Amino acid sequence: LVLQGYLDEQFNQLEELQDDSSPNFVEEVVALFFKDSPRLLTNIELALEKYPQDFYRLDSLAHQFKGSGSSIGALRIKNECSIFKTHCNGRNLEGCRRSLQKMKREHANLKQKLETYFQLLRQVGPQECAVNSWK
Amino acid sequence: MAGCKGGLGGEAPHVLAVDDSSVDRAVIAGILRSSKFRVTAVDSGKRALELLGTEPNVSMIITDYWMPEMTGFELLKKVKESSSLKEIPVVIMSSENVPTRISRCLEEGAEDFLLKPVRPSDVSRLCSRVLR
């Protein structure tokens, strides 16, 4: 319930890679994402405020953010990045601005959800959480 | 997940993973290690070539396509142009399904082209095909 709708199958695949030698693999990868992603979002924001806008660069920055998000299974972030890229292709500045705000909200929401999830994991144990994460 | 069979003496194959994204490097390294590969992950084609110059036993290179300064395609070309490196299988990863990009890489000698996000099943398939 904690993560329903926020993550896709990729997250489940990463959880299945965890074993005794890498017990915190998913949390480590997620930490890398949240360490790197604020910079990507800031770069998109700065690029949006430049005049004239470089929609090719904006698309490239969104592509990076989408790629990282996809790698951890961040479904909503991935989808919003696709919308942002569509606005870039249409040179729709207002659309890009609206989409960026959504990306930032989804980013903050996911961070909060995952922090809760990993806290829960530490309390109840990994098997119990893995079973419930897709309900 | 079934692991890959080792090379001479049963040692695990050594894979060089190249990706400028720290997240993607961690993911591909995790997938490879769970398949019992030895993994070195670097963040650029330049660093990959530096390592290849000093490390003689790389069994496979798996590289992202889009990287700043040197793309995965450019890295592939440099490997295939080198008499000492050309036999190393190179696999390209990309988040974009662009048929012309895929065929260009395969024509240049890439063993395979994987769409990101890379799955453990992709690596299992690679193991049986590329590292026979």
Confidence at residue A21, expressed as pLDDT on a 0 to 100 scale: 87
CB nearest A36 (choices: B22, B30, B31): B22
- Binning pLDDT at 50, 70 and 90, where does residue B10 land? low
Query: Which two structure tokens, joined as six digits, stand for B29?
Result: 């390294």
From chain A, pick out residues whose CB is under 8 angstroms from the CB of B119.
Answer: 10, 13
> Whole-angstrom Cα distance, residue A84 to residue A81?
5
Confidence at residue B8, expressed as pLDDT on a 0 to 100 scale: 47
Q: What is the ipTM of this complex?
A: 0.84
pTM, 2 dp: 0.87
Residues A22-76 have pLDDT tens digits of 899 999 999 999 999 999 999 999 999 999 999 999 999 999 999 999 999 999 9
CB nearest A17 (choices: B22, B66, B120): B120
Q: What is the dihedral of CA B56, B42, B9, B132, to 10 degrees?
A: -100
Average pLDDT over every residue of A79-108: 97
Confidence at residue A11, expressed as pLDDT on a 0 to 100 scale: 94
Question: Between chains, do A71 and B119 touch, taking CB under 8 Å as contact?
Answer: no
Confidence at residue B94, expressed as pLDDT on a 0 to 100 scale: 93
Strand order in the sheet with B112-115: B38-42, B14-18, B60-64, B90-94, B112-115
Confidence at residue A133, expressed as pLDDT on a 0 to 100 scale: 43
Query: Which two structure tokens, joined as six digits, stand for A6?
Result: 């926020």
Question: Between chains, do B116 and A32 touch, taking CB under 8 Å as contact?
Answer: no
> Whole-angstrom Cα distance, residue B19 to residue A9?
22
> Whole-angstrom Cα distance, residue A60 to residue A79?
16
Question: Between chains, do A73 and B26 touch, taking CB under 8 Å as contact?
Answer: no
A-B contacts at Cβ under 8 angstroms: 54
Sign of CA dihedral A84, A86, A88, A94: negative
B97 to chain A, any CB pair closer than 8 A? The answer is no
